[in-house]
A and B are shown apart, each in its own frame.
Chain A
Amino acid sequence: MTEKAEFMRLPATVNLEYKYSTGRYLGRFYKELRDNKRLVANKCGKCGRVLFPPRIACPDCMVRASDEWVEVGPQATLIFFYELQIPGLAERHAANYLGVLALDGTEAELSCFEHRLMVDDPGKLREGMRMEPVFNEEGRTGRIRDDILGFKPIEG
């Protein structure tokens, strides 16, 4: 017996257009990235923690974060990487390798993030290696996954 013949299924495709507000802290981050290719973070006025991505409150102190901004990166340390072997994943992310990266000046454990890796020779990828971002030079829109094309090893 085939399932289809025996029991009927009704298709129900949902198409939705969500719109997310970044708020002023992430908004400033994206604006700096888009207009100046700068990566910025704000700080907690109480404990001094660099909050990256920038946000309104320090999770450690539960106080409103300050408007003291610092530049972080753009150089970064590669913490972890992997090849996208799951069908469809490489296409979805437009990359064959993704890495977890910690920008200089941020606390790696709480501020690292995933991004595409742009490498000619994946065999040279090593955890702990130094990398730098490749910015999108045409039509940045304010989104980290689009305005930075990926991270590449620092030569030399």
Chain B
Amino acid sequence: MAGRAAIVGVGQTYHRSKRPDVNQIEMINEAVRAALEDAQLTPKEIDCVLFGNMEQAEGSYLMDCWATEGTGAYLKEGCKVHTGGTTGASVAEAAAHHAASGLFDTVLAVTYEKQDETPAGMGPLALVQDYLWAIHTGAFGWFARMGRKYMLETGCQEEHAAITRLKSDRCACKNPHAHLRLNLTMQDVLNSRMLLYPLRLLYMCPTTAGACALVFASEERAPKITKKPVWVKDWETVHYEMVGYEAYFTSRMTSMETAANRIYHRNGITNVRRDIQCAEIYEPSTWSELQFSEWFHFCEKGEAWRMAEKGVSDLEGEFPINPSGGVVCTNPIGCTAMVRVAEAALQIRGDAGEHQVTRDVKRAVATGFGGSFWTEMLLLQRSWD
């Protein structure tokens, strides 16, 4: 990459199950205003607007066109990026590309999902599958299998998933933007409804309405906009072969390991928990937080549940994972991966408020996860070097 790009503005809505008080465009507008205010920029100072959501989720197509009054894209350049669950990270990566390219000084990246307008049971998302093939229970089946496999291979017991879920809840309770803030007890978690063994309702991400916006700026412009630019040092997108159920197996390299290996190698990261201080990962279920942590090399194979047990991944821990509460607490799908980037940026700035981690975060990773097991990973830093 010839140029450099930094995040100079972060904004998101308060995430909720339902937002009957606003339409989609008005909800998007809330996040955009918040990001512009954070960057202290006017819409006039934005050169380009990139946009994304989970196409079909709300039955409103071409929302980049309809939502210009929400995004402020009127007469500006930009386009829509749509990659399913990873959309939020894809839009962020695209915005970093645009800002680093030298073509635009400032790029606004906007994503949203308003799942209270989606038919119950995520009807349209039932089509998110290899459309020619067989029978699917979709995400529930995947994460149940992942949990089962993880237990069998590592000796993890259900209580470790519960410990991890309680950690997410404690973090979410400190994050005013989070959706599920439940003050859970161990009993609440272990008594929550079993969907597909060993996946309980509380181990699964909710359906959320919310929006997020980020302002990216070029190397030259970023320091003029803010004293605390968050540099987008590197990013990686890895796709996977869909058909099989890799969630159940690990003999092949997953998209997550591949992305992490490339990012760590390119950036001289040899001791992940030392060289990176915080992670905001897209964990669609509590079981995937454990499994993904190993694939991202946050710990040795088979050790993630011990890490949770020891409180390593807590907000005050040695390596905080999802101090925002993560995806099991907040999941406006097409926007979810951007919330990871936004929260990681806030941790680096030291602006996360009550859910600011104890450790000084100079460097953080944010990830997206989607559809056929693909991964996006961004490396964010307080200073470029």
Contacts and interface: CB of A to CB of B under 8 A. Distances in A.
Interface string A83-124: 111101100010000101000000111111111100000000
B384 interface: no
Contacts of A14: 59
A14 B137 CA distance: 22
Size class of the A contact interface (CB-based, 8 Å): 35 or more
Nearest to B148: A80
B75 interface: no
A89 B20 CA distance: 28
Interface stretch (A1-9, A65-73, A132-140): A1-9
Given A7-B21, A108-B249, A145-B135, A114 B141 contact: yes
A56 interface: no
A116 B132 CA distance: 17
A143 B135 CA distance: 11
A12 B133 contact: no
A82 B246 contact: no
Interface string A57-84: 0010000000000000000000110111
A6 B22 CA distance: 11
Contact of A109 (B132, B133, B251): B251
A6 B20 contact: yes
A39 B196 CA distance: 29
A109 B195 contact: no
A141 interface: no
A109 B18 contact: no
Interface stretch (B207-215, B237-245, B285-293): B237-245
> In this complex, which of A14, A26, A93 has the most chain B Cβ atoms within 10 angstroms of its Cβ?
A14
A85 B135 CA distance: 16
Contact of A86 (B20, B140, B148): B140
Interface string B225-256: 00000000000000001011110110110000
